[in-house]
Chain A
Amino acid sequence: NAGVTQTPKFRVLKTGQSMTLLCAQDMNHEYMYWYRQDPGMGLRLIHYSVGEGTTAKGEVPDGYNVSRLKKQNFLLGLESAAPSQTSVYFCASSYWDWSSRTEKLFFGSGTQLSVL
Chain B
Amino acid sequence: DADVTQTPRNRITKTGKRIMLECSQTKGHDRMYWYRQDPGLGLRLIYYSFDVKDINKGEISDGYSVSRQAQAKFSLSLESAIPNQTALYFCATSDPSGGLYNEQFFGPGTRLTVL
A, B co-complexed: no
